[in-house]
Structure 1
Amino acid sequence: MTHPLIDRLTTEFSWPKLDNQHDLTEFTSREGVHVLFVPGDPKRNLETADVAVILPEIKQAFQGRFDCAVVGDDIEQKVREETKVLKTPSLIFYREGQMIGGIPRVRDWDEYMARITQILAQSATCEIADA
């Protein structure tokens, strides 16, 4: 499902939209840290637009410590099930192909800053913020 604020991430910011497992694996397996934005249904979940606006600001605040992509509708359910980050919208963090954490739903700025700092400090273990 499309929404102008989600579309902005792929058009204005040129973030990739991952529509299949191959693209997902290729994106998350690269060197460094990668964040998947799993939007969910923006018509049913008003928080989706909020996270679509907040994520570019978060990326800027962390000064290039990770890149971002948008998970497409076709693989969203599978990503949610595989990562066990079931609530949307969510941010799912990977380092070189390994999930290192997830943050479901919208959070306040300070919580994003604290949780992402913790996630980035982790190695291969995975941490999911409370729903």
Structure 2
Amino acid sequence: MTTLRTSAAPMLECLRELLLKQGFLEQQNNTFDRIAVGARTPLVTLPLGNPARHSEFLDLTVVLPEIVRQFGPDSFRAAFATPPASAAIANRFGVLRRPALIFLREGCYLGAIEGLRDREDYLQCFTRIRTELPQPVPIQLSVYGARS
């Protein structure tokens, strides 16, 4: 019997190799802060999830390198994180919906894009993020026992 975990591993490794070939940095929990603080230009991080469960990750790994290239080599630094680092990074920045992109400059939070968007929406967000000032990281709120 094939489990979801084992069936996703080859696809996740394929995405990892694709992003590395595109020049993306791989972030782990122990390297994330060093990479983020060293980013003088905005750093866009893609926390990867299970592509067998959410095919949107496949779409974003194709579109993201094209968008980053469109802005030129010195506009954005691109990175990705694979599980379990991706879950920790997403939680740290209040990302609730995947796929997502998290933007930082010199370690400071600039914003995030959650969910899959169309190309024009990504281009507008990237244009805006390039000039954004740092902002507070969103706080995740959990409401237990709430009634609607």
Same fold (TM over 0.5): yes
Asked if the contact 1:3/1:42 (under 8 Å) is kept, the reply is: no
Structure 2 residue aligned with 1:28:
36
User: How far, CA to CA, are the matches of 1:115 and 1:126 in structure 2?
Assistant: 18
Using a 3 Å threshold, how does the CA distance of structure 1 residues 25 and 127 change in structure 2: closer, same or farther?
A: closer
User: How far, CA to CA, are the matches of 1:5 and 1:45 in structure 2?
Assistant: 13
Secondary structure of 1:73's aligned partner: coil
Structure 2 residue aligned with 1:62:
71
Secondary structure of 2:58's aligned partner: helix
Asked if the contact 2:93/2:137 (under 8 Å) is kept, the reply is: no
Structure 1 residue aligned with 2:127:
117
1:13 aligns with 2:5: no
Asked if the contact 2:36/2:105 (under 8 Å) is kept, the reply is: yes
Structure 2 residue aligned with 1:43:
52
TM-score (norm 2): 0.78
- The offset of 1:126, in angstroms, is 5.5
Specify every segment of 5 or more residues in structure 2 that has no aligned partner in the other structure, as ranges. 1-8, 139-148
Specify every segment of 5 or more residues in structure 1 that has no aligned partner in the other structure, as ranges. none
Secondary structure of 2:128's aligned partner: helix
Q: Residues 95-106 of structure 1: matches in 2 within 5 Å?
A: 95-106=105-116
Report the residue type matching 1:36 in the other structure. T
State the identity %: 26
Structure 2 residue aligned with 1:91:
101
Report the residue type matching 1:108 in the other structure. D
User: How far, CA to CA, are the matches of 1:101 and 1:92 in structure 2?
Assistant: 6
Secondary structure of 2:130's aligned partner: helix
TM-score (norm 1): 0.87
Asked if the contact 1:102/1:127 (under 8 Å) is kept, the reply is: no
Report the residue type matching 1:89 in the other structure. P
Q: How many aligned positions are there?
A: 126
Structure 1 outlier segments of 4+, above 3 Å: none
User: How far, CA to CA, are the matches of 1:72 and 1:6 in structure 2?
Assistant: 8
